[in-house]
């Protein structure tokens, strides 16, 4: 078993930023599980499947093989053999992932991939159900959150810096809707795991959060 750090929390809380920096500082591998759900979402979108058509989503999930490789320490996501990493971070893909990730068969498809990475390597793994479901015995468990306003502002800045036209109100609404779905679904809902340390990053700098998490890794 590797040394396992589990970071869960809502969309836009800064999980990936923090997880990447902690992984770098400790020499662990960063595992982005959201990217795996997004990879399946890319497949559903490419096939033109309606997110509400659960039967077709389940069937398509069985055909989709998601795997992970690391190039210079950076996670690359493969879908049926092709590298689709550059297609993952759009709002369309994020929304499709949020709508299809509650389906138990979709989650089941990714469970073993996530657990096997944690068995083989020292990892910082982020997602929604890592501390509660995937790695309940993780060495360190964090529930990282921030207010909706802070998260929407961060997302707005991130998109604006990339030159992508966006609307703050729409982003905030999107975040609230995603929270509702992630927290109220029946299978593996987002919640603070037993034994997880709550970190609210609303008024913390990135390095303050990283330092706090690194101190927990003994």
| Given 5, 6, 7, 11, the residue binding ligand DC (CB under 6 A) | 11
| Given 20, 38, 87, 151, the residue binding ligand DC (CB under 6 A) | 38
Question: Binding of ligand DC at residue 155 (CB under 6 A)?
Answer: no
Question: Binding of ligand DC at residue 178 (CB under 6 A)?
Answer: yes
Question: Binding of ligand DC at residue 75 (CB under 6 A)?
Answer: no
For the record, the structure tokens of 141 come out as 């468990």
Question: Binding of ligand DC at residue 179 (CB under 6 A)?
Answer: no
The bridge status of strand 4-8 relative to strand 123-127 is parallel
Question: Binding of ligand DC at residue 128 (CB under 6 A)?
Answer: yes
192-195: long-range contacts at Cβ-Cβ below 8 A with a sequence spacing of 24 or more? 192/8, 192/131, 192/143, 193/6, 193/8, 193/130, 193/131, 193/132, 193/136, 193/141, 193/143, 194/132, 194/136, 195/131, 195/141
Strands (E), the chain: 4-8, 29-32, 66-71, 74-79, 82-83, 123-127, 140-145, 197-200
Unique residue bearing structure tokens 């591998």 = 29
Residue (27 or 186) nearer to ligand DC, CB: 186
Report how many residues bind ligand DC under the rule CB under 6 A. 14
| Given 23, 75, 94, 156, the residue binding ligand DC (CB under 6 A) | 94
CB 97 within 8 A of CB 41: yes
| Given 49, 127, 140, 172, the residue binding ligand DC (CB under 6 A) | 127
**Interacting stretch for ligand DC, rule CB under 6 A, among 74-82, 93-101, 142-150, 200-208?**
93-101
Using CB under 6 A as the criterion, which residues of the chain lie in contact with ligand DC when the complex forms? 11, 33-34, 37-38, 94, 97-98, 101, 127-129, 178, 182
């Amino acid at each position: 078993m590797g040394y396992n750090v589990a970071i869960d929390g809502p969309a836009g809380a800064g999980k990936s930023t923090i997880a990447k920096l902690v992984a770098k500082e400790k020499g662990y591998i960063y595992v982005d599980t959201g990217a795996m759900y997004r990879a399946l979402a890319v497949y559903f979108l490419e096939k033109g499947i309606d997110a509400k058509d659960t039967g077709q989503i389940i069937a398509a999930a069985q055909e989709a093989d998601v795997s992970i490789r690391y190039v210079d320490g950076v996670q690359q996501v493969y879908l049926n053999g092709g590298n689709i990493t550059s297609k993952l971070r759009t709002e369309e893909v994020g929304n499709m992932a949020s709508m299809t990730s509650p389906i138990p068969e979709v989650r089941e498809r990714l469970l073993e991939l996530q657990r096997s990475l944690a068995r083989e390597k020292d990892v910082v793994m982020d997602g929604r159900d890592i501390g509660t479901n995937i790695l309940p015995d993780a060495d360190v468990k964090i529930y990282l959150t921030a207010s909706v306003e802070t998260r929407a502002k961060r997302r707005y800045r991130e998109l604006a810096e990339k030159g992508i036209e966006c609307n703050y109100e729409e982003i905030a609404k999107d975040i609230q809707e995603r929270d509702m779905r992630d927290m109220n679904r029946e299978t593996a809902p987002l919640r603070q795991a037993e034994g997880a340390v709550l970190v609210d990053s609303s008024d913390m700098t990135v390095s303050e959060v990283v330092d706090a998490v690194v101190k927990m890794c003994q």
